[in-house]
Structure 1
């Protein structure tokens, strides 16, 4: 196959970096991490790049907003190692995660609607009665496993006031009743939506006081916009990756 004459034109690290607001060290780091294919060298040992490296850099930077830095880097490394099917699998996993996050957002909306519909008209949501661990409550380990997080994360949320488990009188262990599990699920879902703990705290307060869905609409709308943005970013990343694959061919 004939190559574009410009594909062999030599570029300096600064030539790649300048167009993306990067440092030359960042470009060198990307090469060392396998995100860019290996650079050529001048007789004096200086790195030289080509349009192939420029296409790789564009592909990586386009993949990051949709897939995150770690997965985007793994995709590029797989391509550069000739394992294109592995790269496609990683992309599929990203789309599957986005689909799952969309389902999670829907679940949050539905959970909040259910919460509002069961709220008492005067005093808000009826507090869940104390329950023993087992039939009506759960300990920190099983709850963390159910959510796919570490027990330390639940303890962190407790220190932030986001979950408020009681202590078993005999063992001193934390016991999460139905309301605690609900709060933990909501915190987990909002964290996956990209919200910091400081922003989640007032939402949890609103849920506990059954203030209704209205105070949460802005957060849910922002979350929806984030997911839509990720979807479009994935499309852009796919287009740039396809351009890079064509350049490699």
Structure 2
């Protein structure tokens, strides 16, 4: 591996600007560079491997998540680092499962057969939050925004989500996870009882599935760069 790379040389080889290299070093994506007597940074080929791995991973899971992952990957024992990479793939699979669950329930929204669509009966706020992998406070926020309308049961008026509301919540969660804003989701939810509304939601969820497929492919491509990073994890920087 090359040694003694200046900031500009490393940036050019990795496809970044000089400032981006310095920022990624500051954020812990790559370890601190050695400093010469006159204060200039000096990088190695291992830094280049880390930057290329970050670039590939950022395309798959986003730059913020990639920064955290790289900072963890390069400092953990090899077994833990490999497990973290496995979890990245599993995370995408869980997202896909949630979108598919929402997609599968759309036809039942607003129908008498909603409970037969796999929603599993009523859920408490804790149960629904767990099923959707969100916080209970998120469900309460969606309620204040008019996206969900849970029943209130018992002397403490605890929230209870019917089968139909669970399906709506699945759609909301899938669209939010894909980056849709509250106003856009409110428009979708408002028309879910209509054929045109269901069709619009189906298109949105199908687009989400396409985006997840693309991210999965990008993560597979990133795996090569991550493997190279882990192969050199026991080498001195």
RMSD, aligned CA:
3.1
CA distance in 2 between partners of 1:89 and 1:127 (Å): 41
User: TM-score when scaled to structure 1?
Assistant: 0.74
Do structure 1's residue 8 and structure 2's residue 9 form an aligned pair? Answer: no
Task: Report if the CA contact (8 A) 2:11-2:17 is conserved.
Answer: yes
CA distance in 2 between partners of 1:127 and 1:114 (Å): 6
Task: Report if the CA contact (8 A) 2:73-2:84 is conserved.
Answer: no
User: TM-score when scaled to structure 2?
Assistant: 0.78
> Residue 200 of structure 2 corresponds to which residue in structure 1?
215
> Is the partner of 1:35 in helix, strand or coil?
coil
CA-to-aligned-CA distance 1:112-151 (integer Å, 9 cap, x gap): 2344xxx6xxxxx3599xxxxxxx7554344334433222
Do structure 1's residue 193 and structure 2's residue 178 form an aligned pair? Answer: yes
CA distance in 2 between partners of 1:90 and 1:28 (Å): 25
* Partner residue of 1:86 out of 80, 87, 92: 80
Unaligned runs of 5+ in 1: 120-124, 129-135
Residues matched between the structures, number: 227
Do structure 1's residue 73 and structure 2's residue 86 form an aligned pair? Answer: no
Question: Aligned ranges for residues 1-249 of structure 1 at < 5 Å?
Answer: 4=1, 7-12=2-7, 14-17=8-11, 20-22=15-17, 24=19, 26-69=20-63, 71-81=65-75, 83-115=77-109, 125=111, 137-167=122-152, 171-211=156-196, 213-245=198-230
Q: In structure 2, do the counterparts of structure 1 residues 146 and 108 end up closer, same or farther at CA, with 3 Å as the change threshold?
A: closer
Q: In structure 2, do the counterparts of structure 1 residues 97 and 145 end up closer, same or farther at CA, with 3 Å as the change threshold?
A: closer
Unaligned runs of 5+ in 2: 115-120
Greater shift, 153-162 or 64-73, is seen at: 64-73
Where in structure 1 do 4 or more consecutive aligned residues deviate above 6 Å? Answer: none
Q: In structure 2, do the counterparts of structure 1 residues 170 and 186 end up closer, same or farther at CA, with 3 Å as the change threshold?
A: same
Task: Report if the CA contact (8 A) 2:98-2:132 is conserved.
Answer: no
> Is the partner of 2:37 in helix, strand or coil?
coil
> Is the partner of 1:8 in helix, strand or coil?
coil
